[in-house]
Amino acid sequence: MFDKIFSIFIKDSEKVEDNAVRYAYGKFLNICCILFNILLFAIKTLAGILSGSVAIIADAINNLSDASSNVVGFLGFKLSSLPADEEHPYGHGRYEYIASLIVAFIIMFIGIELFRNSLDKILNPTDIKFEIITVVILLVSILIKLFMSVFAKSAGKKIKSDTLLAVATDSRNDVLATLAVLISLIIFKYFNINIDGYVGILVSVVILISGVKIVIETVATLLGKAPEKEFVEKLTSKILSYESVLGLHDLLIHDYGPGRRFASAHVEMPAEEDPIKSHEIIDTIEMDIYRELNLHISLHYDPISTKDELLNEMKEYIAVSVKTISESATIHDLRIVRGIERNIAVFDLLLPYSVKLSEKHIKEETAKLVKAKYPSFDVNIKIDRDFASGK
């Protein structure tokens, strides 16, 4: 259903990797939410006045604050859509993350204010009135907010927007808040028990928790969290599918905002092949990835000898042996430095951050494994960490 709506109001709605399309989604969703929230503020204020409920008045003010959050979200999408310039060569995509952070702080502020007002209501209780029109207004507002939550979540997932997902979370919180207020009215009507303030406290805690979760997630993104596992696997499979590509390592992915990812990696290719041909293959991979995944990637050519029997045998042995240190351990860039009396095996050992052993211990254990099979070899090991071990 939502895809149909998106296709009507957003040109080329399926091209979600396009920054212009992402901006169109953000603009459309935030304008819709602004209008809905202003409407809800007006009708809930009326309901609060009719019932004398502080929880309903607080809920109405919450909707007005939501409208301001949507304005922030709109500005975030607008600023993030600005093209790269001399001072910001990687674009302005992180403005969207900053907008998510601001929305989260607004949510938390609302939670604190609701908590304060609800506590005052508990300490200084006043009667509330049960009016049918109030119940109707609250039911309508629940349906509207439920629609907004699902609507924003659908768009947020489609364009992978933390800002729209934050809007969806906020709308879901409003559904819970309004539902709780409605229940408190019904309890007062039939049992003459005023739990208005206590319901407000409960709702405020839920709102605060959701705000904190958004802050944690957004800060993690700004600090540079690992990319999604599915994306890493898709990218890796894509590169390995090309002719003459033997392996891939040292993959780095940098996120400068939605649709603005940059990456680099080392691609292993047969040393015996024409380097010009290998270079052409790498150029093709880079262009294809940009076109299909909207990812700027720079690939480094690593020539690998495929005809040195000792080298290939050693590589296979070490690759299997290091699995005793970690199942995720891999090696790359193995080469042999041959001397008169001693030989040296030089290679990089790639380990995930989950391995907490010291680098000294890891090197010593790996050296023992190599010497057990090749006693005439010394080893020179460089420890690498996996920067693209997505979750």
Per-block mean pLDDT, blocks of 10 residues, the chain (391 long): 84 82 88 91 85 74 79 83 84 84 83 84 76 84 92 90 84 83 82 81 81 85 83 92 90 84 91 91 95 90 86 92 88 84 88 85 91 90 78 51
Phi-psi region of 76 (alpha: psi -120 to 50; beta: other; left: phi over 0): alpha
Strand (E) positions, the chain?
Answer: 247-255, 261-270, 295-304, 330-337, 343-351, 377-385
Which structural domains are found in the chain, ordered by start?
Answer: 2-223 (1.20.1510.10), 226-304 (3.30.70.1350), 308-391 (3.30.70.1350)
Query: 269 CB contacts (<8 Å, ≥6 apart)?
Result: 244, 245, 246, 278, 281, 282, 301, 302, 303, 304
Q: What is the pLDDT of residue 319?
A: 92
Half-sphere exposure of 317 (CA within 13 A, CB side): 16
End-to-end CA, the chain: 30
- Residues linked to residue 295 through DSSP beta bridges, in sequence order: 261
Half-sphere exposure of 293 (CA within 13 A, CB side): 22
Per DSSP, the three-state class of 26 is helix
pTM for the model? 0.67
Q: What is the pLDDT of residue 325?
A: 86
Q: What is the pLDDT of residue 300?
A: 92
Residue type, 358: S
Q: What is the pLDDT of residue 91?
A: 83
Phi-psi region of 305 (alpha: psi -120 to 50; beta: other; left: phi over 0): beta
Compute the chain's Rg from CA coordinates.
29
Other CB atoms within 10 Å distance of the CB of residue 192: 8
